[in-house]
């Protein structure tokens, strides 16, 4: 047995004793102040879960920085309440950021009943437009693009041709064919609707 191995158990016993002393000191500090810390947070929040979480966060911070406590700078109780204040400040900052993010995500306000009625009227009035958009979705990409640019966006066929990289003649031909196809589909759809009402 060497000298180092003989010292090791003694050092380990000393560390255990010091660790047990720190644990006992923390336990004493916790028992003496947990109610006061909880009351500190209860004065700031009505939510019991928030009070419990902030109290737990405070004591986690106390135990993880327990060895940094310097009694020459003040009492352990004052040090602990300094930690509680920082925990609460962090909570407030995080809560404010979370609320801001939620408001951005929500990004809307409740509508007044008259606004709802107006919007329902507009939505109903656009039923034909929705039907047209459904029919457009069934068209080939280039035909749909020509209709969207000329008939919906208001470009002249020459401008649409430039935007699509087609010749003006090709755009005019696509317009004629696609409009005819849409008229035929609209007639068929209207006819079918008329038959279903009988």
- Domain boundary (106, 136, 159) is at 106
Question: Cα–Cα distance between 121 and 155 in angstroms, integer?
Answer: 29
DSSP classification of residue 111: P
- Please check whether residue 5 lies inside any domain of the structure: no
Are 77 and 118 found together in one domain? no
Phi-psi label, residue 139: left if phi above 0, alpha if psi -120 to 50, beta otherwise: beta
- Helices 76-106, 3-42: axis angle to 10 degrees equals 60
187 vs 28, residue with greater confidence:
28
Residues 119 and 138 reside in one and the same domain: yes
Domain boundary (91, 106, 121) is at 106
Nearest Cα neighbor of 55 from 65, 66, 44 is: 44
Banded pLDDT at 28 (limits 50, 70, 90) = very high
Q: What is the mean pLDDT of residues 128-149?
A: 81
Domain total in the chain: 2
Residue 101's domain spans which residues?
16-106
* Most confident listed range (37-51, 52-66, 74-88, 140-154): 52-66
Distance CA(189)–CA(167), nearest Å, equals 32
Q: pTM for this structure?
A: 0.46
Whether 22 and 99 map to the same domain: the answer is yes
> 103 or 6: whose pLDDT is higher?
103
Euclidean distance between CA atoms 123 and 31, whole angstroms: 64
pLDDT of the residue at 170: 95
Q: Could you say which of 106, 139, 156 is where a domain stops?
A: 106
pLDDT tens across 145-156, in order? Answer: 898 888 877 888
Distance of CA 131 to the CA centre of its chain: 34
Same domain? 47 vs 99? yes
- The verdict on residue 92 lying in a domain is yes
Are 42 and 70 in a shared domain? yes
- For 62-116, how does the pLDDT look when each residue is reduced to its tens digit (9 = 90+)? 999 988 888 888 888 888 888 999 999 999 999 988 888 877 777 666 768 887 7
Find tokens 């009694």 and name the residue: 71
The pLDDT, as a whole number, for residue 6 is 47
What is the rounded distance in angstroms from the CA atom of residue 31 to the CA atom of residue 80?
Answer: 13
Report how far residue 108's alpha carbon sits from residue 102's, in angstroms, rounded to the nearest whole number.
11
CB atoms under 10 Å from CB of 196, counted, come to: 7
């Amino acid at each position: 047995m060497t000298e180092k191995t003989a010292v090791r158990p003694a050092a380990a016993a000393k560390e255990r004793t010091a660790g047990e002393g720190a644990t006992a000191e923390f336990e004493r500090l916790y028992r003496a102040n947990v109610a006061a810390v909880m009351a500190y947070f209860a004065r700031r929040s009505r939510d019991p879960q928030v009070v419990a979480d902030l109290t737990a966060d405070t004591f986690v911070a106390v135990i993880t920085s327990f060895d940094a406590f310097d009694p020459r700078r003040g009492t352990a109780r004052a040090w602990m309440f300094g930690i509680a204040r920082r925990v609460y400040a962090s909570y407030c900052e995080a809560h404010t950021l979370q609320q801001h993010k939620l408001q951005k995500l929500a990004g809307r306000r409740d509508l007044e009943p008259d606004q709802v009625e107006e919007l329902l009227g507009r939505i109903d009035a656009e039923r034909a437009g929705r039907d047209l958009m459904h029919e457009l979705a069934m068209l080939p990409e280039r035909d749909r693009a020509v209709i969207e640019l000329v008939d919906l966006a208001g470009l002249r066929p020459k401008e649409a041709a430039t935007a699509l990289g087609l010749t003006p003649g090709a755009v005019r031909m696509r317009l004629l064919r696609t409009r005819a196809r849409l008229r035929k589909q609209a007639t068929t759809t209207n006819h079918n609707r008329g038959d279903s009402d009988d």
